[in-house]
Each structure stands twice: as structure tokens, then as C-alpha cells.
Amino acid sequence: MTGDDLLAAYNRGPHWCEILGGGGASSSHGDDLRTRLAGFSLTELMRRADLAERELYNLGITFTVYSERDAIDRILPFDVLPRILSADDWDTIESGSKQRVTAINAFLHDVYHEARIIKDGLIPAELVFGNPYYREQMRGVAVPHNNYVNVCGVDLVRDGQGRFKVLEDNARTPSGVSYVVENRHMMLRTFPELMEEMPIRPVSNYGQKLLEAVTDLAPAHVDDPQVVLLSPGVFNSAYFEHVFLAREMGVPLVEGNDLVVENDHVFMKTTAGLAAVHAIYRRLDDAFLDPEVFNPESLLGVPGLFGAYAKGNVGLANAVGTGCADDKAVYAYMPRIIRYYLDEEPILDNVETHICREPEGLKYTLDHLDELVIKPVGESGGYGIVIGPRASAAELDEIRAKVIDDPSNFISQPMIDLSVCPTLIDGMVEPRHVDLRPFVVTGKDTWVLPGGLTRVALRRGSLVVNSSQGGGSKDTWVLER
């Protein structure tokens, strides 16, 4: 390494680093990148970063914020320094994600049929049947290949020892995959000399893999099934991704008003009249799918769609009712769910979770309140979370009272030291915390997109990677073996 090493002044601190590794052992999988980066000055790196951001904006790789009279396009900040995963790490992630999705699908099939797992006492009935995302209407409905979750985003973090852990499952309509592919394209255009002959596994066939999986869901007797992507429309913040996927799949992007159901069959309105639709990749939540069955106020959905689905005349990805499997309360049971259905040990661990509805979990939580992160199970988006080490005595007293009052509404987890990755910040290369969302696609079979979305918390010290909280993204390289 020459003195020009861009990472010479980089200090990963006490954290695991995605390029350098952690502790005493340093990783070698980032060496090639470091050598190539040595040819760059910081000024040149910043210039390229600038060009890349401008290009993202011009290409309209944006999410859109609507005000009363304007549509404002924003880009997801893009960091040009890639995150690299070794072939070994990827093996763990890939097999662990597949295992998890297989177990989730077995669990969903069970809870919508015999519910053995509940009868066997492994998971409390009210956690499943009382879950707001459990859909009564799905009981006994046959789902193609018994696969309910056709697209799953498994959110992973890496702890101080370099172990990947699952933070949460996204089994409804996970988003972000368009950034994975577009970030790669952007890197190829902006840094050809970093990428040339680098043994990186490709990501650009995602659309075709997704189309295959969704096609697997069409009624078996249809020869050349018509697949469509159902979007809530241009006002949805993920509309860019819907367009991206429709283009990559080569299928029409439809809105609810473009579809109509007649005699339990789905049709789209074309200039030549009605045309049959056989499988739908829907980016619309259950509640909005069909006003006749779910939220009657929904104008985004298609009246009669659920009837056509339940009769097997149209495939839906994901299936209706998957939300009862990716909820925080059920998450805590996921290691047991994997053992129960697959008779295997989980390849990817959960973050250690204490279930307060169970006496040991409650006792541990109350005894270690000031060391733990306490989460209410019914909330999302970070609401109601108390971070023990950062809470005041009064806040700790308050949460103690709440947990004692209603233990089953809480879980607790240790603070996790998220790994870091070198990131270009104001002309310096600094460590910033990252997570990873691999995308798992399942039709008849399961396939995992090599890599996934690396989100990066651009604020110093921040562990929050969400785009609404100053998060950005990086290209994620999985090296060939």
C-alpha cells in the first residue's frame, strides 16, 4: 500500500469494518479495492461523487415528495465507496436468508390452515390471530406452491464480532431493490477503473428473476400468462421503483383503475378492450387491495380482486396476509419457528430478544433495563422505543411501570454495535454505520439477489439508516469465490 492510500487516515474505531474487518484480524477481501483506490486523490473522488449525484437526479432515480402544487424529486444520497462482502460471508447470508424465508412460508401455510404451531403451544394464539395483519379471509385459501412470501427483504446488521444478525423481516412489500441495481449501474459508469475485471456477482438480472417467480404464480393451465405490476400510482414515494421493476420485467405498470374483475377473472383496460391478467406483482398493501373485502374506503384497489384470487384465477405476489409473519412480536419467535418447521438451527441469528410475556424474559428485562433497548411490539417506525443506556432515570422508571403493567406488549434487546464502512463525508473518508437488506425471491424455488441494499447512516455516530433520517445507500459487491 502506498502513502496515497485513501484509507490511510481512516479510523474504524472500536467497530467492525466492512472493508478492514475487526479486532486484531484484518480482512483481505477489500485489498484489491484499496489498491485501485490509491490511484485516486480525494479531490477526484469528490468530483466523481458529485457527477454521480447529479446523474441520479437527472435520471430521475428519485423519490418524490408532493406539496400542494409541486412534485419535488429527491435522490437517495449515494456514497461512492462500495461495501464488499466476501464469498464466505455471502454463503452465510444467502443460505440463512433462504432458510428464514422457507420457515416463514411454512409458518404462514400453517397459520392459515391447521395452525399446528399454536396447538403445539409454541407461539401464543393471540399473537397470530389477534395480529392486525392476520387475514381471516385467507383461511383455507390455496396459494401456488404454498409460497406466500415471494419477495422478502431480510434486514441484517453485523455486530462487533462480525456476526450477521437479523434485525427484522420484511414480508409484505419490501422496497429498495431498484437502488441496488441502479447503484451498480452508477458505479460502472462513474468508476470504470475500479470495476474492470473485479470479480463482482451481477445484480442486473433481478427483473427477469422476479418475472419468473411471479409467472410461477399464474394459474397452471395458462400458456403465456400476462403478468402486471400493480402500483398505488405516481403519488407513492416508491413509484420510481415500481416503474423500474415494470421496465425490467417488461410488464405493464397498472393502477387499480386500470383493472376490472368480471366473473372472478381479472382484466386490464387496453385500447383494444379488456385483456386477461394472470399474475400480479402488487406494491399495494393488503388493506387497499380490494374495497369489497378489506378497507371499503380504498380507491387504489380493484373491487372483486380477492374473490378472483381466492378462486385461483389470478396469482398475487406477495400473498394476502403475510404481515402476521414479519411483525416484532412474531420476530422474537422466529428461531423457534425455524427449528419447529425445518428441524434445523437458524443459520442467521436473531438479535438476542427477551420476550416480556414470558417470566424469564420479563425478569431479565427488568433487571437490565438500563442496558437494553425496550420496544413495544405493536408500534412501527421507531415509536415508543426506549434506549436504556441513553435514558434518564425518570424515563427508565416510566418504561419499567409500563412493562410491568402490560408485559406482553414489550420485547427487549441489547444495544447492537453496527458495523461501519468507509464513507466519503465532506471530503474525508470516515467510518459510518451500515445495515444490509438482501432480497429473497421465491416462485417455485428460492433465489437471493447477490448483495442487497446497503443503507448507510450519514450522520456521525448515528445508527439510523432510514432515508427519512439522513440515510443514504452504497453499492454492495459480493465477490466471486
Partner 1 sequence: MSTATKLLLARYADCAMWLGRYIERAENLARILDVNMHFSRDARGSQNWRSIVQLNADEKRFDKAYDVASYANVVNFYVLDRDNPTSIISAVRSAKENARSLRPLLSTEMWQHLNMFNNHLSTLSAEDVKPSELARVSAMIKEQCQLHTGITEGTFFRDQSWHFYLLGKRIERADQTTRLLDIKYHLLLPMDQTVGSPVDVSQWNALLRSVAGYHAFRREHPRGMSPKAVAGFLLFNSAFPRSIWTGLSEIDSNLHRLRSDFGLRAGNLAMELVDETRAALESHTPDTVVNFGLHEFSDYLQRQLNAITTEIRRDFCGFEPMTDSGMPDGQMQHQD
Q: Rule CB under 8 A: is residue 199 a binding residue for partner 1?
A: no
Q: Which stretch binds partner 1 (CB under 8 A): 8-16, 80-88, 251-259, 326-334?
A: 251-259
Q: Rule CB under 8 A: is residue 296 a binding residue for partner 1?
A: no
For residues 436 and 452, the answer to whether their CB atoms sit within 8 Å is yes
Element (H, E) at 52: helix 42-59
* CA pair distance 162, 55, nearest whole angstrom: 34
In the chain, the amino acid numbered 127 is L
The one among 91, 255, 285, 349 contacting partner 1 by CB under 8 A? 255
Q: Rule CB under 8 A: is residue 235 a binding residue for partner 1?
A: yes
List of E strands, 325-470 = 349-350, 354-355, 372-376, 386-387, 410-414, 420-425, 428-437, 439-442, 446-448, 453-457
* CA pair distance 455, 155, nearest whole angstrom: 10
Query: In terms of CB distance, is 225 or 472 closer to partner 1?
Result: 225
CB of 303 to partner 1, least distance (A): 15
Burial classification of residue 100, based on how many CB atoms lie within 10 Å of its CB (0-12 exposed, 13-18 middle, 19 or more buried) = buried
The one among 11, 35, 41, 58 contacting partner 1 by CB under 8 A? 58
- What single-letter DSSP state applies at residue 381? T
Query: In terms of CB distance, is 19 or 52 closer to partner 1?
Result: 52
* CA pair distance 282, 245, nearest whole angstrom: 11
* CA pair distance 365, 154, nearest whole angstrom: 26
For residues 240 and 60, the answer to whether their CB atoms sit within 8 Å is yes
Phi and psi dihedrals of 422, rounded to 5? Answer: -60, 135
* CA pair distance 403, 361, nearest whole angstrom: 11
CB of 351 to partner 1, least distance (A): 39
The one among 42, 122, 275, 401 contacting partner 1 by CB under 8 A? 275
CB of 47 to partner 1, least distance (A): 20
The one among 4, 44, 50, 73 contacting partner 1 by CB under 8 A? 73
The one among 233, 312, 378, 384 contacting partner 1 by CB under 8 A? 233
Query: In terms of CB distance, is 300 or 440 closer to partner 1?
Result: 300
Element (H, E) at 156: strand 151-158
* CA pair distance 10, 38, nearest whole angstrom: 13
CB of 69 to partner 1, least distance (A): 6
CB of 251 to partner 1, least distance (A): 8
- What single-letter DSSP state applies at residue 21? B
Count of residues engaged in binding partner 1, rule: CB under 8 A: 34
Query: In terms of CB distance, is 79 or 182 closer to partner 1?
Result: 182
Q: Rule CB under 8 A: is residue 270 a binding residue for partner 1?
A: yes
Residues 356-385 that bind partner 1 (CB under 8 A): none
The one among 243, 310, 416, 464 contacting partner 1 by CB under 8 A? 243
Residues 6+ positions from 270 with CB-CB distance below 8 Å = none
Query: In terms of CB distance, is 239 or 341 closer to partner 1?
Result: 239
Q: Rule CB under 8 A: is residue 246 a binding residue for partner 1?
A: yes
CB of 313 to partner 1, least distance (A): 18
The one among 1, 9, 299, 428 contacting partner 1 by CB under 8 A? 299
For residues 234 and 283, the answer to whether their CB atoms sit within 8 Å is no
* CA pair distance 69, 131, nearest whole angstrom: 39
The one among 213, 238, 254, 319 contacting partner 1 by CB under 8 A? 254
The one among 43, 67, 161, 271 contacting partner 1 by CB under 8 A? 271
Burial classification of residue 130, based on how many CB atoms lie within 10 Å of its CB (0-12 exposed, 13-18 middle, 19 or more buried) = exposed
Q: Which stretch binds partner 1 (CB under 8 A): 28-36, 54-62, 76-84, 421-429?
A: 54-62
Give the residues lining the site for partner 1 (CB under 8 A). Answer: 57-60, 69-71, 73, 224, 226, 232-235, 239, 243, 246-247, 250-255, 257-258, 268-272, 275, 299-300
